[in-house]
Amino acid sequence: MNKSGMLIVISGFSGVGKGTVVKKLVERYDYSLSVSATTRAPRPGETDGVDYHFKTVKEFQNLIDYNGFIEWAQYVENYYGTPKKFVEDELAKGNNVILEIEVQGAMHIKEQYPDAVLIFITAPNAQTLKERLEGRGTEDAKVISKRLKRAFEETDDMVQYDYLVVNDDIDVCVDDIHSVIQAESFKTSRNAEYTDNMKFELEVIRKTYN
Ligand code: 5GP
């Protein structure tokens, strides 16, 4: 079947492990991962162009002005945005594109791309989430506190997502997300072109029997 690419938005609480989940998802299965731009400083081990396109505030502002993002948002103290060109090119090629973005951005995507599949990754419980945030050891207490506050606010937005997936065991979580995307791709509404072709071909073949 010749299907067009799907836009898949993955969000989740800070510290839930979505970065690792998404990394494994694209290693294991055939998805195109969008690399966002951000004004945040790189964390140890992060590479420009791989984890993010790291930008100054001025560079980021220029990209906004030149319509370079399909969405952008401020999160805690930094700006994050999804580059337009990569996403549009990949969808046009028929590839399934993964965006790992926060809630405000996900809502903007839903407005612009009503067919996008929105998946929210959550933790088994709040205590686990707090421990994961602390265990990461990359942010100080003030930032962790802000991220927990933001997580509290984000619980109100979870209902806007199509699917809720718990990250307890990472491999199970990755496979659960892949299953969700697979199921979505088989929806009749996403295969209208196939249905039309089938109808046309059946009519052609039927006529040869007359
Ligand atoms: P972090 O600083 O931990 O890498 O990311 C902070 C938050 O920004 C995460 O929730 C992440 O999903 C989100 N984020 C990353 N890239 C983008 C983007 O392009 N747009 C939006 N709206 N959020 C993003």
Q: What is the dihedral of CA 142, 99, 86, 69, to 10 degrees?
A: -50
Nearest-atom index, ligand 1, CA of 36: 19
Pairing type for strands 97-100 and 163-166 reads unpaired
Nearest-atom index, ligand 1, CA of 12: 10
Total length of the chain? 210
Q: Is the shortest distance between the CB of 15 and ligand 1 below 6 Å?
A: no
Give 98-136 pLDDT, tens digit per residue. 999 999 999 999 999 999 999 999 999 999 999 999 987
Nearest-atom index, ligand 1, CA of 73: 22
pLDDT at position 3 is 65
Q: Compute the distance between CA of residue 86 and CA of residue 97 in angstroms, rounded to an integer.
A: 9
Compute φ and ψ for 29, nearest 5 degrees: -125, 170
Q: Is the shortest distance between the CB of 36 and ligand 1 below 6 Å?
A: yes
Q: Is the shortest distance between the CB of 73 and ligand 1 below 6 Å?
A: yes
Q: What is the dihedral of CA 138, 118, 30, 93, to 10 degrees?
A: -120
Q: Is the shortest distance between the CB of 101 and ligand 1 below 6 Å?
A: yes
pTM of the model: 0.92
Q: Is the shortest distance between the CB of 17 and ligand 1 below 6 Å?
A: no
